[in-house]
Amino acid sequence: MTIIAKSTRPTIEALMADFAPNFDFVPPPPLPVAEYEERLRRVRREAVVAGHDAIVIHTGMVGWFHASNAYLRYMIDWMREGVLIIPCDNDKPLTLLTFFTESVILPPGGEPVLVDDIWQVGAIGREYADRPGTSDEKAGEAAAKFLLDQFGPSAQIGRIGDGKSVKFWAQLQELMPKTKFVAENGIIDRMQRVRSPREIDMFRAAGQLIDIATQAAYHVTKPGVTDHEIFGAFTFAQMSRGGETGDGYQIGINEFGTHCGKPYGHVVRPGDLINLYISNVTFRGYTAQTARMIAVGDITKHQEKVIVACVEGVKRAEKLIKPGALFRDINNAAFEPYIEAGLLTSPEARTMPYIWAPEDDGSPRLVKRQYVRDIDWEAQGRKLMHVYPAQYGPHNPNLGHSIGMAGAGNSFNVSSHNYDRLEEGMVFVLHTQWIEPLNAGCNVGDLYAVTKDGFENLSRHTPLDLHRV
């Protein structure tokens, strides 16, 4: 009979027992209906100018019960899969076709805004419901019938979707051979380049959730605690206050500060460098992004040098944020400390080494095969046999990018080749990174909104500087 000794180490619940953030979080209410009405007016106007009879927006479902893109949520605050038909005639109502997956999210965060008629397409199939057909096919057939009934066979339709929509568009074209379909993602993408004051309230709330969660991670981090527990503390702190997802961020811990991934059972030890890379904390569909570093005990002089250069880079760039400033100038200011530290020779993206880069001729870069000691991974019966990443440098050959809604792409990058000027209402992250495999690493950044006279740091409740344990 095997006897398992009861652990005497404190549980994650005990580690969090006396935690309290250093500020009060007050969640803003949902966006007003008037804001969605204005979005609808703008979409219809652009569609009319383009000669369309209607706009069709499609989103599918991906893993973990998430919609594949943010277009439906932006237009009608719908967080499930669906097909939204927007007639360009103002006197015709919006139609939503939805519920064509087995997703169990009911209701999906409430009612869709501005929509009267919601049609349940249904999740079917031989294995699932012992009925012929597939849910995707039925969604396409239903959409084609609505479009043909309302606009006839020779209409011009603008379409908005993502990679999950390709099969749907192909089916519509097959069922409506005389209809002209035109890709129009740019209509909504352009609308999200500059944000309204109420939208910035949502970004601010998401940034504050990151700050609270980061403080919780700091609170529990100590030798003997696992990466799972730090990740869990972060997740509990933000989701218990209204965060919508717990899988949009990474944690990396080792003695080099070079890893960024998901927890796997690493036990914190003196000399560890921890990266909290918060790629996405979501509040009411709006996301925030930051990055912070934690040092456990002493680290090397070179590691200190890298971290100082990265922190200073963000601080120099921040000083230039205001309407009218060039994105290029902000980007280049952040890389000045890298050059001064001897890490880089130029801020130009085209010439910069970065960790995901292929070979100079565009061919694949071989990941170095070498045994790397990892006690906690080996305790699970595995070995680390490659050196990650394959190249040294920052994560990206630029400083940052726009921040939007969960599932949306970036509308701009903060880079040396971006000669656009900042506008009031823009929201973006500035994050400096540097990785030298098996040597040093850093990733720090903050979330910013451009104001009338300068900027607001939306993640200001936790300092950018290295947190020491």
Same-domain status, 370 and 451: yes
Q: Assess whether 138 and 171 both reside in one domain.
A: yes
Domain count, the chain: 2
Pick the last residue of a domain from 139, 156, 191. 191
| Backbone torsion region of residue 381, taken as left when φ is above 0, otherwise alpha when ψ lies between -120 and 50, otherwise beta | left
Name the percent of the chain in helix, strand, coil, to the closest 5: 30, 20, 45
pLDDT at 151: 97
CATH of the domain at 100: 3.40.350.10
Domain membership flag for residue 175: yes
Q: Could you tell me if residue 9 is inside a domain?
A: no
**Statement to judge: residues 147 and 235 lie in one domain:** no
pTM for this prediction: 0.95
Do 160 and 229 belong to one domain? no
User: What's the per-residue H, E or C state across 267-336?
Assistant: ECCCCCEEEEEEEEEEECCEEEEEEEEEECCCCCHHHHHHHHHHHHHHHHHHCCCCCCCEHHHHHHHHHH
Residues near 138 by beta carbon (within 8 Å), at least 6 away in sequence: 100, 121, 122, 124
In-domain check, residue 392: yes
Looking at the structure, do residues 232 and 177 belong to the same domain, yes or no? no
Do 204 and 185 fall within a single domain?
Answer: no
Contacts of 442 (CB under 8 A, 6+ apart): 257, 275, 293, 303, 306, 307, 309, 310, 311, 432, 433, 434, 435
Considering the domain architecture, whether residues 461 and 372 belong to the same structural domain is answered as yes
* Pair (183, 224) in one structural domain: no
Do 155 and 210 fall into the same domain? no
Q: Note whether 207 and 76 are same-domain residues.
A: no
Q: Tens-digit pLDDT profile for the chain (469 aa)?
A: 445 455 567 777 888 999 999 999 999 999 999 999 999 999 999 999 999 999 999 999 987 888 999 999 999 999 999 999 999 999 999 999 999 988 877 777 789 999 999 999 999 999 889 999 999 999 999 999 999 999 999 999 999 999 999 999 999 999 999 999 999 999 999 999 999 999 999 999 999 999 999 999 999 999 999 999 999 999 999 999 999 999 889 999 999 988 788 999 999 999 999 999 999 999 999 999 999 999 999 999 999 999 999 999 999 999 999 999 999 999 999 999 999 999 999 999 999 999 999 999 999 999 999 999 999 999 999 999 999 999 999 999 999 999 999 888 778 999 999 999 999 999 999 999 999 999 999 999 999 999 999 999 999 999 999 999 9
The answer to whether residues 84 and 50 belong to one domain is: yes
Structural domain span for residue 378: 197-468
User: What value does the CA radius of gyration of the chain take, rounded to a whole number of Å?
Assistant: 25
